[in-house]
Structure 1
């Protein structure tokens, strides 16, 4: 199960993050400004969020296999069609719409399934599976850069389509439907506490979660984090080119995000099982915000690559904690649907961030203002997730005037 998720996330997220290295040749060949070009990725991210709601619901009902297989077909088809792009609207349709929906069929269903299969080691299991994302970001953008240099962006899109389709469809056969209640723990007694944060005293429905104060703190914290994170992810390579790096050298910075996130996921996955996912999230969000400010000041290779790698480390330590926190706040039965709505919040931010940075650049011919706003968004996100500690001590108010369970405060770290 974890191996299949690793491979699926590796090719799907690695391909999606490769848009950063396609950015410059697409804008150059068609004469598009940076706001219009980054809008393709923004649309993809937004539809990733919308699709995650439906993908999560379908996975809760039928298991992840059919949902992920459909995503693999969509991704392969979208990339192959993107290779024949002749105008901006075609790339918005072939890449923006199709790739966004395809990636949504992978992360949400897999993130909901793995905690059910490994209740006693969720942090480690999610960390290992999510390393697939990191390996994909490390390898595929760098590979795409060399393919583009040698054969052009059209051929590179087509090759990525064939690779992703083959790997995802092949990996689907390793996926399983969710375990029965007796399989969720070795003792067959259901979900056991797995971290310093005690789990919810009941399983929440999506409707109940939408009425909870803690849900909306999570919603806006996730939105702000993704605003800053995707802003950097999309514009980092072209920012590096503006600083004087070669296309391959700028692509290396994107790959270092993936490389750094491997270590972040390994180390922070184990730390999460010891001190709890909330504390790990806050630590890594602060690190990412500081690294964005560091990138603003970078003018030489050493700080540019160092802050890129540390930014990736923080990203790797943050992402896998999200389904863990959600599972422990709201329970497992509706986890896919609740994650889907939260993923949508992140992708709204992920759509805003790249567009905002592109527009600010088109107006000012500089990334300074955009990146500063991105760093500020991430730092505010860390503050919101820190506030969850205080919400745990009070009842969560539910729509209709009812009160939800009282969440217990984390134990000593």
Structure 2
């Protein structure tokens, strides 16, 4: 089931993946007395991995972090290309972007950048459409599952996700990617993820947290493996075949899921017997405990993606190499995998909400007390390990805690609603970037503080929820 996350790349951790689209910034720089122009667009991605050498993530105080791609300038029959050292002298700060969706975006940009003006700005909407579809299609999958069963939803999701990637390889216009990679793949991934995460918890009781931790932890493995697959296939086979191979991987993994998934309590009903009102338990929106759980989770999630996106940039700003920056993301992804299993294991023993609260506060402290004072590579490694270990507890505990808060009849609606509210977290990176631009503070300080504070506020809200559900702060829940 966890393979669903890995294909979005990173792909979802549940998303782990968040995207902000901004207006195109055009500028011309003079390098070696030759004019080299490049179209630059600021764009923020969801779940992190390494961006190829062709792309450089330039960071300036007056212009928020933006993608700058090397351009060729043919003059007198000689092909000139901007070098990394030239850009460093021009910008003073150069960084590699390590973003999960950044890999698919890299394929998109290289597919169209030589043929379409402002292609980066237009392509940025692909990621936005994908993320919105992943989070908004939950209710539709719930309707189909209630009438035809979870296996049917997985089969539909497998077809949509695979076709989305395969057809993306045939795209000749940017709007083709909106429909294939954005809508088709996004809808398919939503069907797969929502159904899998909604069905799996019903088969476990005592070890539900560990089971979901293992399931969600797969995205950490995907964050480590997929970048190498994409980089190798793109360099040897080209962009189109890279999309196709991703589609084949998606198909192979999801066929296994379709074969083995089984509803624990299959609905026994006649066709058309259940109305939409019966399927959607809107009473969950009146449940204060569920609303507190949603609010605390979404606020914390707003800070989740920032370190994945900006730690490599921060490392390069401090004078370390792009490779060292990329290594930090690999460390963080590996720690995330371990952390999701660990929080599930601990949650089964001390209570899932208790474990989530502890991990949320630890993620906050890792940013405020470690990343804030990370000026050496050793400290950056320490932060990557600590944050990666604690930051992903929400994804492992999302369904077990939701199941404990609401009634069994409300559970499917609650999960779909929670995922829909996750769309709000997409704006976390853009909010932090806007504050960074206006604050004129020490570089990356705003990102460090924003990450720590969002996790801290989210943790406080979860404590309030805990006190409403139990008699004391140390009670098991």
Equivalent runs, 1:205-354 vs 2, <5 Å: 206-234=281-309, 249-293=324-368, 294-295=370-371, 298=374, 300-349=376-425, 351-354=426-429
> Is 1:73 the equivalent of 2:159?
yes
Which residue is equivalent to 1:168?
254
Q: Secondary structure at the match of 1:325?
A: helix
User: Matched residues in 1 for 2:171 and 2:309: separation?
Assistant: 20
**1:51 corresponds to 2:115:** no
Deviation at 1:85, TM superposition (A): 5.3
CA–CA distance in structure 2, aligned partners of residues 240 and 79 of structure 1: 33
Q: CA deviation at 1:215?
A: 1.7
TM-score (norm 1): 0.76
Q: 446, 449, 452: which is aligned to 1:375? A: 452
C-alpha offsets along residues 231-250 of structure 1, whole Å, 9 cap, x if unaligned? 44455556666666666554
Computing the radius of gyration from Cα coordinates, the structure with the larger value is 2
1:411 matched to which residue of 2? Answer: 475
Distance 1:302 1:408, change over 3 A: closer
Which structure carries more relative contact order (alpha carbon 8 Å, separation 6+)?
1
Contact preservation (8 Å) 2:138, 2:191: yes
* Structure 2 gap segments, 5+ residues each: 13-46, 48-99, 268-278
Deviations along 1:345-386, one digit per CA (max 9) or x if unpaired, are: 12321x212444566778889654345434322221111111
| Aligned 8 A contact 1:238 1:250 in 2 | yes
Aligned-pair Cα RMSD in Å: 3.7
**TM-score if structure 2 supplies the norm length?**
0.67
Q: Does 1:63 align with 2:149?
A: yes
User: 217, 227, 230: which one pairs with 1:131?
Assistant: 217
Q: After superposition, what is the alpha-carbon deviation per residue over 1:19-41, rounded to whole angstroms, capped at 9, x for unaligned?
A: 13455676687386988766543
Listed one character per residue, the Cα deviations across residues 315-355 of structure 1 (whole Å, up to 9, x for unaligned) are 34332212111111113233222101011112321x21244
1:137, distance to aligned residue in structure 2 (A): 2.1
1:115 and 1:126 in contact (8 A); partners too: yes
Normalized per residue, which structure has more strand? 2
Q: How many residues align?
A: 374
Query: Which range moved further: 311-320 or 226-235?
Result: 226-235
Secondary structure of 2:260's counterpart equals coil
Taking structure 1 as reference, are residues 354 and 259 closer, same or farther at Cα in structure 2, changes over 3 Å only?
same
Stretches of structure 1 lacking an aligned partner (at least 5 in a row): 182-203, 394-406
